[in-house]
Amino acid sequence: EAGVTQSPTHLIKTRGQQATLRCSPISGHTSVYWYQQALGLGLQFLLWYDEGEERNRGNFPPRFSGRQFPNYSSELNVNALELEDSALYLCASSLLGVTGELFFGEGSRLTVL
């Protein structure tokens, strides 16, 4: 069974540009979570989607947004990129929400120059 897949693996952008990251959850999982892991920092919660709806978001500015598609895949968009947005963006999916195990993808590393 395929795990959580993320694309692209690496992405290089310049300040002010937009970045789009994609995530496919494990088959059958309806919840998708996005986390940011900046160098030296822990995982910071960004967004939670379930059944196509945004259920919760972390303390990030509105230029971080996303959506979940009918097939439960998800997209994270970061507008007006800033240098401090450089980080590893991890997507995770789960079957039972936060009471169950989160399965993470390998992440998309975004570098903003």
Q: Quote the radius of gyration of the chain (alpha carbons, Å).
A: 13
| Residue 105 binds another protein, judged by CB under 8 A | yes
Which residues, in sequence order, are CB contacts of 11 under 8 Å at separation 6+?
19, 21, 108, 109, 110, 111
Q: What residues between 24 and 43 interact with another protein by CB under 8 A?
A: 33, 35, 41-43
What is the size of the binding site for another protein (CB under 8 A)? 22
- Residue 28 or 40 with smaller CB distance to another protein: 40
Handedness of CA 6, 85, 65, 20 (dihedral sign): negative
| Residue 58 binds another protein, judged by CB under 8 A | yes
- Residue 3 or 16 with smaller CB distance to another protein: 3
Phi, psi at residue 83, to the nearest 5°? -55, -40
Binding-site ranges for another protein (CB under 8 A): 33, 35, 41-45, 48, 50, 55-56, 58, 90, 97-99, 101-102, 104-107
